[in-house]
Structure 1
C-alpha cells in the first residue's frame, strides 16, 4: 500500500543530495583507484588531495569500503528508507585519458569504484553538470555504460540530444512514478561545447534561464507527466560561493512550478547550502551544497563552512505534488566521508538556513533529534 502523510494523502519520500564528487581524492581511497595523474595547475597527483585531508584530520585507512565512504550518512539513509534517492553525480566514471584540455579541474572515478553508489542504493544520478565530461566523450560513454550496468537511472547526459533530454522515470508501483529531468546552466561552469546536439553527445545545457526556456522544459514535462507523477527538475546552476539567489534564478524556478508542471526543483552547484523556498506549495532547493568532495584540506571560504553538508528528506503529496514536510540531516565532512555534525555546528547551520530562508519566505528550526525542519506559510 502507498505511504500516507498526516492528512491521509499518498506521500512520496525523497532523499535529495547535492554534489557527490566521488572522483579524484575520493576515488584514490576506494578499492580500485583510477590512475592518479591530473592536469591541474597546482596539483598533478590525485593522491595529494588525500594527503591534504590527512594533514587536517589524521590518517585515512585505505582502502575505504564502498559503503564506508558514506560514513554516518549510510545508516541515516537506511533509517529514513526513502522511496527515491537522487544525487547530482559530479564526476566521470572512466579510465579514459582523454582529459578535456580547456578545463582546469578533472574528476574521474574508476568504473569498479562505482559500486559505492549501489552501496548507498542510489536510484538516480543527475548528470548535467560541469564535471561529467572532464575526461572527454569516451568518459561520457563509460559513465552511461557503468551506471546502466549497475541499474542506476540517469538523466541529463546522452550520446545525442534526445538521450540527454530524456528524463529518468522511476516507477514505484502503487506509489506512482517519480520523473527526473536533469539540466545545467552555463553559469555553473558547463562549457558551451558540452551541450548535446542532434548527432553529438553531451549534457542538457540550458541556453539561459528565460521564460521561453522554462516553457520549453514545460513542454517536455507535459509529454511524459501522468496524473499522480511527482516531477523533479534537477538543475546545476549558479556560483559555487555566496548566499544570494539571483532574481533570474528565482524567476526560472517559479516558472517551472507555475507553468512547467514541476513539483520539486533540486538545485545544486554551490559548495555550501543556500536558502530554501516553497512556491505554490512546491519545494525549491536553490543550492544543496556538496555532499561528498575532496576539498577537506583546501583553505579558503571558511566563512561558508563547506565542511557542513545536508541530507534533504522531503515528503511530497503524490496526488498534488505539494510539499508535506522537509527534514534535513546535518553532516560534517572529515577524512573524506560524512560524520554526524556536532550540536554547535548544527546550531550554526540552522541559523544560516533560517536567516537566508527568511528572505525566501521560509524558516528553519532545530528538532530535538538534531534534524533541521523547514517551516513555510
Structure 2
C-alpha cells in the first residue's frame, strides 16, 4: 500500500503502510508496520480545516498521553505536520469488535460476557479516576483480541461459570477500549457545576435522539430496563441531517439526562459543522454517570443480543414465527440474521441483572457509579489477583471528585450492615 500523502516524511521513513482499517467523519486509520522492529500500529490521520474538529484531536492527544491501562489503547507517537493535520501512532489490537460478535450470533454466553464486562468496567473506572469521561462507549469501540467468529464458546450456553478459570479467560479474551475522539478531562469546576435546569444554550448534535423515557417500568421483568422503540416520527424531518452527523458520536447509548434536553430541538436550524463541544453543558456534573449508563447499555446488548434500538421481545417473537421455524428445521435459511439468538431480560442471572438495572437507572443521582460496580463480586472476582492500576489511590488523589450521592447511600448501608 502506498503511504497516505498526509504522512510526514518522518513517518514514511519509519513505517510501512499495510492496509486501511477504518474511516470516520474527519479521521482515517491505516494499519502500519515499523520498518525496523516489525511492530504493528494503528496510524490515525486527522485532517480538517475546522477548528472544533482539530480541537477534538488535540484533546485526544493530551488525554492519551496520561493514560496507562491494559484495556485502553496506547499512544506510541504523534506528529503534527500542520495546524490542520495530525498523525497518531496508536497501539494495534487485532481481533473483532464487540459489535461484530453481537451482530454475528447475538446474545453472548454468560461467561464470555462477564469477562468482557469486567474489563470494561475496570477500564472506564480508571478513566473516571483520572477525571476523564469517554462519552462514546459502544460495542464498535471495543476490540476483543483472542476472539473470533468461529469460537462457539463465545455464544454456547452450555459453558458453565463454575467450571471457568477467569484468570485464564481474561488473558485469552483481552478487551481494548479505542477512539478517544470525544473524550474530555473534567476540571474541578466541571465536577462541581450543576446541570442546567431549563434551557440549554446550544445543541450538542452528537448525542442521542431517542424518544424520551421518563420512568422504568418494573411490572414486567422483561421491560424493567426499558427497551428503546423506534425513532419518534417527529424527527423524520431531520433524518437527512442525522445521516450527516454519523461521525459525531453515538446516539443509541446516550443517557436520558442527555437525550431529554435535546429531543424537542428543531435540528433543521442547526448546521452539523457548528456543533458545540460534545455534550458540553450536560456532561459536567453528571459526566461520569453518562459513561456508566453507556456501560449499562452495552451490558444489556451483550446479555440480550438486542441493540438499544431494538425490542428483544419483538425479536424473539419474530424468530419464533412458524414460517421461520420450519425454514430453520429444513435448513432452507442459513443467513446471518436467522442465526442470531436473543435472550429475555428475565433469563439473565441475578448478579448481572442487578448491576445492569443499576447502571440504567434514569435518575443519574440514583444510578450506580462504576466505582460501586467495580466492588461487586460479579466484577471484582474476575479481576482479583491481576496486575491492575491502583484506581483507589487515584481517586483519593483527585480530591475534587466528590462522592456521588448513590455511593454515599451505599456506604451508609454497608456501615449499618457491618454494625
Please indicate the TM-score interval, normalised by the length of the shorter structure.
under 0.3
Q: Give TM-score, length-normalised by structure 1.
A: 0.27
More strand by share: 1
Q: Give TM-score, length-normalised by structure 2.
A: 0.25
Which one has a bigger Cα radius of gyration?
Answer: 2
More helix by share: 2
